[in-house]
Amino acid sequence: MMTRGEIEAYRRRLQALAARYQGGVSRLRGEASHGLGGDSGGGISDVPAHLADLGNASYEEEMNLTLLETQEQLFEECDAALARIATGAFGLCEECRRPLAAGRLQACPYARHCVACARKLESQAVC
């Protein structure tokens, strides 16, 4: 059973992580909204003139969208963990309801499942 002090420490850590991920989401949304522009050809159009430039711009846009998706997911996980703190369910596996190991919470404070249940769920998802 966690003490109030431990739970408060996790709350502060999760709030800091959530703020960091939210900042990343905002920054990546801004970068993603710029599209494939770039006045690399010096002409009127914002579209790169060279195919290699277009390929690089396309790759960067795809990478930014992937990073954006990851940051959004991590923000949502932090938000869900904060909600679990509010309801008193923080630190319990959502599958078996056993307490999560302290090391697991230290490494991943928004963890939802114990290692055994996480492995079981991953093996089911792969099939």
Tens of pLDDT along 98-114?
A: 999 999 999 999 999 99
What does the alpha-carbon distance between residue 34 and residue 94 come to, in Å, rounded to a whole number?
40
Give pTM, 2 decimals: 0.75
Q: Max alpha carbon distance in the chain (Å)?
A: 65
What six digits make up the tokens of 29?
């949304």
Q: What is the pLDDT of residues 63-96, one digit of tens each?
A: 878 888 998 999 999 999 999 999 999 999 999 9
